[in-house]
Structure 1
């Protein structure tokens, strides 16, 4: 089985142990991937995320998946792009590390991840993908139990970037 892959898919339809949500700091739903996950999971998700106390950029928190095919949702808050000189790359890397730490702690074997911060937060797709792929490769090397990470991407353009980076090794 391929341990790392990229597909064009609606992350809310994937039957994996957990999906990653590119959330806002309230964790109460929003636009893009966040809104889609909340709509698909149902009202129980927002009821649970109200109890989590929000989330700071670079951190992650876990909830159940409710009506999603995925058993769990790992919510992480990516950086808002401000030109790259305000620590955005570090915060984005921390998002992936925080998500993979939860996955390791919970013993998840399969995980689906979107292109964090590349939507309304404006992070450029190419450097965001480079961070995502680098941090995921590190996590796979450190966690043998993690069998497969799927980058679930919204557009053909994003998919092409990830496929090129994955092929480059």
Structure 2
């Protein structure tokens, strides 16, 4: 048994990875402990996952992975499948649109937006004018009501007959005499 590289086999015992005696045995590529595929692809909890994934893939393809151990049967070189798994994902959104039908649609949308903004401004101005007119009318009505109330108070004076005591043979309200039978 040869020495194990500290980078790849730090958390695994050397006895479990003993070299097989047969030369015809299949070599299995070693997977890093505690490094799932989702993290290498920039999955949950990774900020800027694509950049980190590309750095991680470069480290895996480096000389330390491709047989830094003294015994080549323990630490096998990476297979083409493992190198393909750790490639960073391509950004699909950054590519320009293939069809040219998108360009005239964008221009039409911009024109519609400008027209809508102008209409909104006009509506706001009209609303403000209406509100001002309503306020003026309300003020005029209030003034008229106050004048009418004052006139009513002035005209409602008690009659002179109510102030004096009635004479014998008269009604209490006025000067009409009783009919003599």
TM-score, normalised relative to structure 1: 0.24
Give the strand-richer structure, 1 or 2: 1
Structure with more contact order per residue of length (Cα contacts < 8 Å, sep ≥ 6): 1
